[in-house]
Structure 1
Amino acid sequence: MYSLKLTSAVAALALAASGAMAQDVVRIGSEGAYAPYNFINDATGELDGYERDLGDALCERAGLTCEWVINDWDTIIPNLVAGNYDAIMAGMSITEARMEVISFTENYLLPEPTAYIGLAGASEDLIEGGVVAAQTGTIQAAHVAETGADLLEFPTPDETIAALRNEEADLVIADKAFLVPYVTDSNGELEFVGSDLGLGGGIGVGIRQSDDELRAIFDAAIAEMKADGSLNALITEWFGEDGALYE
């Protein structure tokens, strides 16, 4: 349960859903390794990125006292279920498989393009017939498993890039927004291969299935930010002019 100081539509929805709430702090789990969604700022040592800014804004609107918890991706859902934090904001796409274990708010980011990168000159034939590196437990890894390619999984996204550069893998697949800086900064070493893909149902806040009240509170705050344009402003700030905006 959650102690709140709510105002506006967020307050009305939350208070209608619950009456009294008792827990002082809402803890939000994130990976801190997937820029621009979430990453550790080298200068401050703190979590930064689109989801940090968005999460802080949602908590402020809802009157929630929130704390951020860094957790490895491969155990991020089990630790939510176990109660080690109350929500997940970690670039997590909404999928049917995940919804068998946890629930999600409405999405706060529309489905972003998924892309492949390879070393300069890599053939598109590798998409179906090569070795493709992906982060474990992602929608991209699940996609590769359904193709004719050999899937090579790693715990962190940076390890997939290292595998490509070390020629352990022919390609890397990930969210395009994550891959763009690597390609841009590679001086021609890396390039996009093939066409972009559309995977998943967008990104939302992961919540325990039993936590209907907290999900309703986040839903209301997300809806307010969509309505007043502040969510689109954050998307443009972190993903540039190519970021998918809400109408």
Structure 2
Amino acid sequence: MKKLILTTAALALTAGMAMADTVRMGTEGAYPPYNFINDAGEIDGFERELGDEMCKRAGLTCEWVKNDWDSIIPNLVSGNYDTIIAGMSITAERDEVIDFTQNYQPPAASAYVAAAEGADVTGGVVAAQTATIQAGHVAESGATLVEFATPEETIAAVRNGEADAVLADRDYLTPLVEESNGELVFVGDPVPLGGGVGMGLRESDGELRGKFDAAITSMKEDGSLNALLIKWFGEDTRTY
């Protein structure tokens, strides 16, 4: 669902690495409920639980690596970790640089949130996280885009009046709206973006991709993936 990454020359210059004995799982750690850092300082969330189960089913030893979003694809390609499991939407632009597994979350809507009803989401100032599919959409919508490095900063921009609204994954925004006591509200229409969320891998790591694809397929078939989606995103979330 989220995120359109910038392509750089460094990406094209870096070749894939052979699959290691320990698979390093790269994530952002800042996008609940997909991934976040819990009170114990550990990576947690839907993707932590999902990733651990996929590694178990694939017979892999996995460790988790936290990386800022704006460099998450370059650092995969350069070998700092072996996968991206970070709420990353499958898009044609990204697929030119890295490979994806099948999606482990169906395509879902992005949404606008503002401090009041009637915010102008087509001609006003709209915040989005840098290098996301939401930022790309805002840039083409006629609104004035303001980009921030983290999702928290996009929400802060709405709260402090720096932006009229924010566009992000609805699953990320829903708990923030519910907990805001009316200070934040959904506005405008939902925006369908991306081809679902998948795991990103280097193009050279076809064997590793195949192992994770098989794990995702088995979780879809036995219902355990749907159970995780409902656990982390609620009964109304889209399932398989």
- Mapped pair 1:113 → 2:113: no
Residue 22 of structure 1 and its aligned partner are, at CA, apart by: 7.0
Residue 157 of structure 1 is aligned with which of 151, 154, 159? 151
Residue 40 of structure 1 is aligned with which of 34, 37, 41? 37
- The one-letter code matched in structure 2 to 1:26 is V
Contact 2:26 2:81 survives alignment (8 Å): yes
Residue 91 of structure 1 is aligned with which of 87, 91, 111? 87
Spell out, residue by residue over 1:46-66, the C-alpha distance to the aligned partner (whole angstroms, 9 max, x if none): 111100000000000111000
Matches of 1:160 and 1:242, distance apart in 2: 25
- TM-score by length of structure 2 reads 0.91
Matches of 1:122 and 1:169, distance apart in 2: 13
Residue 179 of structure 1 is aligned with which of 153, 159, 173? 173
Residue 189 of structure 1 is aligned with which of 169, 183, 189? 183
- Mapped pair 1:53 → 2:57: no
Which 4+ stretches in 1 moved above 4 angstroms? none
Give the secondary-structure state (helix, strand or coil) at the position aligned to 1:161: helix
Aligned residue pairs: how many? Answer: 223
Residue 27 of structure 2 is aligned with which of 20, 25, 30? 30
Spell out, residue by residue over 1:104-163, the C-alpha distance to the aligned partner (whole angstroms, 9 max, x if none): 00000001210000012333xx11100000001111011111110000000000000011
- The one-letter code matched in structure 2 to 1:24 is D
Query: 1:22/1:220 Cα in 2 relative to 1: closer, same or farther (>3 Å)?
Result: closer
Gaps of 5+ in 2: 1-17
Residue 182 of structure 1 and its aligned partner are, at CA, apart by: 1.2
Report the equivalent of 1:15: none
Give the secondary-structure state (helix, strand or coil) at the position aligned to 1:204: strand
Percent identical across equivalent pairs? 65
Report the equivalent of 1:68: 64
Matches of 1:165 and 1:157, distance apart in 2: 13
Report the equivalent of 1:207: 201
- The one-letter code matched in structure 1 to 2:151 is P
The alignment's C-alpha RMSD in Å is: 1.0
- The one-letter code matched in structure 2 to 1:104 is F
Q: Relative contact order: is structure 1 or structure 2 higher (C-alpha 8 Å, sep ≥ 6)?
A: 2
Matches of 1:235 and 1:204, distance apart in 2: 14
Matches of 1:243 and 1:180, distance apart in 2: 11
